[in-house]
Amino acid sequence: VRRKLIAANWKMYGSCTRVQDFLEALIPRVDPAGPEVVVCPPYTLLPVAVMVATGSPVAIGAQNCHWAEEGAFTGEVAAPMLAELGVRWVIVGHSERRRLFGESDETAAQRAAAAQRAGLSVIFCLGETLEEREQGHTFAVLERQSKALEGLEPNVLAVAYEPVWAIGTGRTATPQQAQEAHVFLRRCLAELFGDSAADTVRVLYGGSVNPGNAAVLLSEKDVDGALVGGASLDVGSFSDIIRSAPEPPTGA
Ligand code: PEP
């Protein structure tokens, strides 16, 4: 049984005091026996976030990393620098990075590999645009994007299915649309890693998840968690989403 994973993507929001207050309120509400919880604030907030979350059941993640260990890459941050801080996760290939900052399947793959080499776990984002869905290309796009996962270590990998049309739009995939895409992605993972490894990789849903729709999405068999943007900025709504995850079956 895959333990659910609920991750907060703060995007370019927040401040040191805000992340500190958020984590101090969140940590006592997180049940260590419940879903795994990761909070990904902007780079500059990572040191304070790690300081507050150390020793708690909440892990801290970054929203990107470079593919080189170091080098002449002004403005970039390397994965070992994140690891040194105590960051444990990194989001890679988010659609905002693909759409606005020239991220490709190739560069996302390189960043993910660098993150894993530095000892970080990866949340690798993929998903189709509205146009691709309307033209019936959803599965072809997911298959192409998931090929970028080849060579990664499945034990420290989660995949986030984030249909671009659902991100920040208030428009959520139906539980059926999510489940269908997740089953397809798990088949792609099986091609890459074999059936038993594919069975252990968490496939998260992302796209306008909120306390009102989280429970139905998270109760789908192959929806192993959520990557939450807007609704993760408020500790009440983020902890409600965490609490919406169904209990794992007993004896598992
Ligand atoms: C995201 O940024 O990964 C995301 C899913 O955003 P939102 O929840 O705001 O749609």
pLDDT digits (tens, 9 = 90+) for 163-213: 999 999 999 999 999 999 999 999 999 999 999 999 999 999 999 999 999
- Known catalytic residue: 162? yes
Give tens-digit pLDDT for 67-109.
999 999 999 999 999 999 999 999 999 999 999 999 999 999 9
> Angle 211-216-218 (CA atoms, 0-180°, nearest 5)?
85
Residue with CA at minimum distance from ligand 1 atom 4: 229
Output the CA 209–ligand 1 centroid distance in Å: 7
Pocket of ligand 1 (CB under 6 A): 9, 11, 162, 167-168, 206-209, 227-231
Phi, psi (5° rounding) for residue 2?
-85, 125
CA distances (Å), origin 208, targets 22, 101, 110, 152: 20, 22, 28, 28
The alpha carbon of 159 is separated from its chain's Cα centroid by a whole number of angstroms, namely 7
How high is the pLDDT of residue 247?
83
**Who contacts 250 (Cβ-Cβ below 8 Å, separation ≥6)?**
none
Which string of DSSP letters, residue by residue, matches 30-68?
--TTS-EEEEE--GGGHHHHHHHHTTSSEEEEES--BSS
Phi, psi (5° rounding) for residue 91?
-85, 135
Residue with CA at minimum distance from ligand 1 atom 1: 229
Confidence (pTM):
0.97
Residue 252 confidence (pLDDT) above 70: no
Q: Which residue, 170, 241, 238, is CA-closest to 10? A: 238
Output the CA 167–ligand 1 centroid distance in Å: 5
Q: How far apart are the first and last CA of the chain?
A: 6
Output the CA 250–ligand 1 centroid distance in Å: 31
Q: Per-residue pLDDT averaged across 3-11, rounded? A: 98
